[in-house]
Chains A and B, each alone.
Chain A
Amino acid sequence: MSSSGPGDEMAGGLDVPSARRIVDSLPLAVFGKDPANEFRFVLWNRKQEELTGISQKDAIGKTDFDLFPHDEAKAFRKADEAVVRGGAAFEIPEERIDTPTHEVIWLRTLKSLVEDDSGQHRWLLGISEDISAQKLAADELVRTSKVLQTTQLQLIQAEKMELIGRLAAGVAHEVKNPLYLISMGLDYFKEGIKPDDPNLPILVAEMSDALDRADKIVRGLLDFSVDKGLDLADSDLVSLVDRGLHLVRYDLTRSGVVVDVDVEDNLSWVIADRSKFEQVLVNVLTNAVHAVEALDGADTGHRFDLRMEMATVDFEMPDEGVRGCQSLRLGEPAVLLRLRDTGAGLPEGDADRVFDPFFTTKDTGKGTGLGLSVVRKIISLHGGHISLRTRGDGQRGAEVQIFLRPAANSGG
């Protein structure tokens, strides 16, 4: 008995016509080719007809080159030859097919070899699954994820603009002093300049110095306001903290707050986005100052502790979903920044909620309530961790702890 196709064989208990009907009505596209005869099609089920828009009648006996665009047919042939050569199954996880009816579909195809009676590989079998829907969904997911990331960055920037609004008042006041000095100098000159006046060089030096200070004050704010995407780089934490303190200098002075900064020797640099980390510092420092202002009859002489040191992550980093970068893990070395203030402290039982969006202990109209949630997001983008708790040493006030990834090379 010679066989001319897989359909003529007995198929385990089923009569051949029934077996054929089953193959024909599978929800998967099934096709078969004859490697000994130019890979012409010998099997072509209904689903395959549906997917390709080519009827069984038109397909049987033809090759890929007769049915599909040349480039596609070439690709199919290459895969077929590889399967025959290798003698093993071959999966094509996704391929794009342009059907004769000018549709685009995505298929996941498994090609394998079917043996004949003598155990030789005789037929090439192909099973295809239409994954167009999944592919569309996956692409949509990627698109949505990108939109989400953009939106997050926009939110971070919006929160920063609010901070800048508050800092601007401080900058305006700070700039008045150098301007005043220059104005006094000019008044002095207006009264007459005597070449041998010993005050002259001092005046000029002071005025020049004042100009530099004014420039630095304004530049600090301008640099801070620039909108950039996320740009993580090796950074000197001490220098970042310095800039952050400088930005909020006016608020600190006005509330009678002095910040004692302590840095461990040989502190590693950190991986940070300079501008966004400054935003975190400004936010955290401003909150601390507000906490002091919230105290009734506040005495002056508030001293905050700001300490930077190496530490080991001794807690499970919470899983905040997909991150764009690596993050710190339990047991890993980190750079720790701790700020302890002498303000009103945290409300009872709210320590966990402070980072929730819109949670606020401030009066309505004061702030958006988004500050800390944005701060947490920024730190998360840094692969780090932030926590806020009541001071552990018995004094009134709160403590912020920020863990950051150490840089591989400590620059400087």
Chain B
Amino acid sequence: MSDKKDTPIKVMLVDDEAGLTTLTKMSLERSGEFIVAVENDPRKAVERARHLQPDILILDMVMPGMDGGDVAAQIRNTPELAQMKLIILTALVSGDETTGGTASIAVGGEGYRALSKPVKLELLQQTIREELESV
């Protein structure tokens, strides 16, 4: 687990908003702790994830054409990705944003860590680290 200190954490970000993903990628990669692959088309997300084998997937819920719930379900049904760590990023979570806005979201019967937009960079980074450390 600890050799990840030197190699950047591989993050895959799935969100249809290109501007948002560009900025998130820039912000996360700045410190060198993370390296981010962006996918704006949810329908291609699963295939891409299989190729990239990221350490963690950050998934937007509300996307035209195919929503986050479907992507999560597809991932769980893909053997190589079944254990993939997932964080849901969404405007739908009614959390108290002043305290960090984390919550759990049930999608397809499983609970996932969820962050509500807009989320502070620090919180995002922290949540990624925590998820990867948990079993």
Which of B51-59, B113-121, B126-134 lines the interface with chain A? Answer: B113-121
CA distance A397 to B80 in the complex (A): 39
A187 at the interface (CB under 8 A from B): yes
Q: Is the CB of A188 within 8 A of B63?
A: no
Binding site for A on B (CB under 8 A): 17, 19-20, 22-24, 26-27, 30, 62-67, 70, 91-92, 117-121
A173, A184, A209: which contacts B27 (Cβ < 8 A)?
A184
A248-262: which have CB < 8 Å to B? 252-254, 256, 258
B70 contact set on A, CB distance < 8 A:
300
B22, B64, B66, B118: which contacts A180 (Cβ < 8 A)?
B118
Residue of A nearest to B60 (CB): A177
A198-235: which have CB < 8 Å to B? 199, 202-203, 206, 209-210
CA distance A258 to B67 in the complex (A): 12
A191 at the interface (CB under 8 A from B): yes
B94 nearest CB across to chain A (Å)? 11
B63 contact set on A, CB distance < 8 A:
253
A234-255: which have CB < 8 Å to B? 252-254
- 26 pairs, A vs B, C-beta closer than 8 Å: A173-B91, A176-B117, A177-B20, A177-B117, A180-B20, A180-B118, A181-B17, A181-B23, A183-B120, A184-B20, A187-B120, A187-B121, A188-B23, A188-B26, A188-B121, A191-B30, A199-B26, A202-B22, A202-B26, A206-B19, A210-B19, A252-B64, A253-B62, A253-B63, A256-B64, A300-B67
Q: Is the CB of A258 within 8 A of B64?
A: yes
A180, A185, A254: which contacts B119 (Cβ < 8 A)?
A180
CA distance A191 to B122 in the complex (A): 11
CA distance A397 to B24 in the complex (A): 40
A167 at the interface (CB under 8 A from B): no
Residue of B nearest to A188 (CB): B27
Q: Is the CB of A254 within 8 A of B62?
A: yes
Binding site for B on A (CB under 8 A): 173, 176-177, 179-181, 183-185, 187-188, 191, 199, 202-203, 206, 209-210, 252-254, 256, 258, 300-301
B67 contact set on A, CB distance < 8 A:
256, 300
A199 contact set on B, CB distance < 8 A:
26
Number of residue pairs A-B, CB distance < 8 angstroms: 63
Q: Is the CB of B64 within 8 A of A253?
A: yes
A206 contact set on B, CB distance < 8 A:
19, 22-23
A181, A203, A252, A254: residue with the most chain B Cβ atoms closer than 10 Å: A181
A155 nearest CB across to chain B (Å)? 34
Q: Is the CB of B30 within 8 A of A176?
A: no
B20, B22, B23, B26: residue with the most chain A Cβ atoms closer than 10 Å: B23
Interface SS of chain A = helix
B17 contact set on A, CB distance < 8 A:
177, 181
CA distance A199 to B23 in the complex (A): 9
Q: Is the CB of B92 within 8 A of A173?
A: yes
A191 contact set on B, CB distance < 8 A:
30
CA distance A188 to B92 in the complex (A): 24
Q: Is the CB of B65 within 8 A of A184?
A: no
B23 nearest CB across to chain A (Å)? 5
Give 10 nearest A-B pairs by CB, closest first: A180-B118, A187-B121, A183-B118, A176-B91, A206-B19, A184-B23, A180-B117, A173-B91, A253-B64, A199-B26
Q: Is the CB of A184 within 8 A of B118?
A: yes
Q: Is the CB of B26 within 8 A of A176?
A: no
Known interface pairs A180-B20, A210-B19. Does A188 touch B30 (Cβ–Cβ under 8 Å)? yes
CA distance A187 to B120 in the complex (A): 8
B27 contact set on A, CB distance < 8 A:
184, 187-188
Q: Is the CB of A181 within 8 A of B19?
A: yes
B32 nearest CB across to chain A (Å)? 13
CA distance A256 to B17 in the complex (A): 16
Residue of B nearest to A252 (CB): B64
Residue of A nearest to B21 (CB): A181
A179 contact set on B, CB distance < 8 A:
118
B117 contact set on A, CB distance < 8 A:
176-177, 180
